[in-house]
Amino acid sequence: MTLIGWGGYWFYKNFELVSGKVHVGYQGEARYNSLLAAERFLNTKTSPAKSMSSLVGLPPSNGTLVIPTERYEIGPQQANVLLGWVRAGGHLIVIPADASATENRTAQDWLLSGLGVRNVINSAKAREPFVPTNVDISAASDFMQVSFKPCTTLAYRGKEKHSASAADMGGHMLRYHLGRGFLTVLSDADFMHNTSIGRYDNAAFLWYLTHDQHPGEIWLIYGGDMPPLWKWLGTNAWPVLVSAALLLVAWLWSSSRRLGPVRAAAPLARRRLLDHIEASGRFLWQQGQRAKLLNGTRAALLRMLESRHPALASLPREALTMQLAELSNTTPGAIQKALFEQHAPNETEFTDAIILLETIRKTL
C-alpha cells in the first residue's frame, strides 16, 4: 500500500491535465476544393459565385471565369470556344499552362500560345526572403500587397494591346482587351487558395480583379492540374512503357516456341465400382439413413439365399429364422430383429445387425 501511495503522489506531482489545439487540416469540401474560401468571399446577391471541379458550359457573357489551373483538359477546340466567349463580352482569368513546369513542359497552352504569354522561372529569387508584390489597380484607393511568387514572372511578345503590363504589376499580371471582353493572365494563383486568401491584401485584390470589369456571375474552376493518366505516363514514364512492351513481345515469342513433341495427356483414372458403393454408403450414413442401408443389406442376403438355397428360402419366416439361428450359432430373436423387424436402428443396433447378417452370408 505504501508503494501505491508513493506512486500516486509521484504521478500527481509530475503530470497534469492540459488542453491544446491540434491542426487536423481542412475538412469537408475544403479538403479538395482549394477555392472554397474564395467562392464564399466573392459570393453576393448581385454577383453570385460558384466553384466547380471542371468547366461544364460557360457563364453568361457578362460573367467572370477564373481558371487558375494547368488546364490539361482544354484542347484547341475548347480554347477557341473560350476565346470566342471572351470576345462576346466575358472576362477570363487564367495562368499560363506551364506555370509549374520545368524545362520539360507537360502541357501545350492552346489558350495563350497565340498571344505569346508564358512564365519565366528565376531560381535565384526563390532563395531570397519572401516579399509581397505591390499591386496598383486604378479602381482601388491605395496599392495592395499580394503574395505572388517572386521567382515566377510573365514574359510576352507585346504584339497585343494590354492595359497593365508585366512591368507595371511587378511582372505578375497582364490584361488583354479582346473584342468586348477581357483576358487577364496571372503569373500564379496561389494567393486565392484557401491557405493564402486571408493574408496581406490577397482577398481585396481578388475582389477588384473579378469585379473591376464585370460585376456579373463568377465561376471558379479548381480542377485541371492533373493530366489524364495516359498522357502523364506518355510524358513521364515512356521508358517504362517501352520496356514493358518489349518484355511482352519477348514473352509472347518465347511462349510460342516448343522444345520437343507435345506430351500426350494421361488418361483419366477410372474408379472401381466398390469406390462408388463405399461413397454412397458413407453419404447415407452421414445423412442418418441407417435403416435404408440395413434394408439394402437384408435384400442382398435374401437374394443370395434364393439363388444358393431355394428350398431354405421358401420356408415360412419362423422356420427360416430357426434354420439361420442354427447356422450362425445365435438366437432366433437376434435373427428376427436383424433380418425382418422394421425399425430405425441406432448406431449400436445397426452395427450388431450388419455383423450378424455378414456372418450369415459367409455361412451360406
Looking at residue 100, its pLDDT comes to: 45
Q: How confident is the model at residue 169 (pLDDT cuts 50, 70, 90)?
A: low
85 confidence band (pLDDT: 50, 70, 90): very high
Query: Is 20 a domain residue?
Result: no
* Parent domain of 154: 27-227
Q: Is the pLDDT of residue 59 over 80?
A: yes
- Write down which residue in 165, 200, 227 finishes a domain: 227
pLDDT of residue 164: 59
Distance CA 39, CA 234 (A): 35
pLDDT at 99 over 70: no
Extract long-range pairs of 270-273: CB within 8 Å, 24+ residues apart.
Answer: none
User: Cα 238 vs. chain centroid, distance in angstroms?
Assistant: 24
The verdict on 84 and 150 lying in the same domain is yes
Q: Is 47 in the same domain as 134? A: yes
Within this chain, do residues 73 and 147 fall inside the same structural domain, yes or no?
yes
pTM > 0.85: yes or no: no
Residue 338 counted as domain residue = yes
CB 86 within 8 A of CB 92: yes
Annotate 245-277 with b (16+ C-beta within 10 A) or e (fewer).
Answer: eeeeeeeeeeeeeeeeeeeeeeeeeeeeeeeee
Clarify whether residues 156 and 294 are in a common domain. Answer: no
CB 301 within 8 A of CB 354: no
User: What is the three-class DSSP state of 44?
Assistant: coil
Domain assignment present for 209: yes
Q: Is residue 43 part of a domain?
A: yes
User: Is residue 249 assigned to a domain?
Assistant: no
Q: What SS3 state is found at 209?
A: helix
Same domain, 66 and 191: yes
Residue identified by cell 484607393 is: 141
| Cβ–Cβ < 8 Å for 187, 203 | no
**Co-location of 288 and 181 in the same domain:** no
The verdict on 62 and 201 lying in the same domain is yes
Residues 189 and 280 in one domain: no
* Cα distance between residue 327 and residue 323, in whole Å: 6
CA distances from 264 to 255, 261, 267 (A): 19, 9, 9
Indicate the burial class of 317 (C-beta count within 10 angstroms; 0-12, 13-18, 19 or more). Answer: exposed
Q: Say yes or no to pLDDT of 212 above 60.
A: yes
Cβ-proximal residues to 347 (8 Å cutoff; 6+ apart), any chain? 290
Say whether both 305 and 219 belong to one domain. no
Cell of 104: 520539360
The 10s digit of each residue's pLDDT in 289-319 is 777 777 777 777 788 878 887 777 777 877 7
Which residues is 135 bridged to in the sheet? 144
| 156 and 300 fall within a common domain | no
The grid coordinates of residue 129 equal 526572403
Same domain, 43 and 143: yes
Start-end of H helices in 257-313: 273-286, 290-308, 310-313
Look at residues 227, 258, 291 and tell me which one is the last residue of a structural domain. 227
The set of cell numbers assigned to 119 is 512564365
Identify whether 188 is part of a domain: yes
Q: Is position 334 within any domain?
A: yes
Distance CA 264, CA 129 (A): 79
Q: What is the CATH number of the domain that holds 169?
A: 3.40.50
Look up residue 11 and give its three cell numbers: 504521478
Give the total number of structural domains in the chain: 2
If one compares 355 and 251, the residue with the highest pLDDT of the two is: 251
Q: Please say whether the beta carbons of 188 and 95 come within 8 A.
A: yes
16 part of a folded domain = no
- 215 shares its domain with 281: no
**Domain's final residue, options 172, 207, 227:** 227
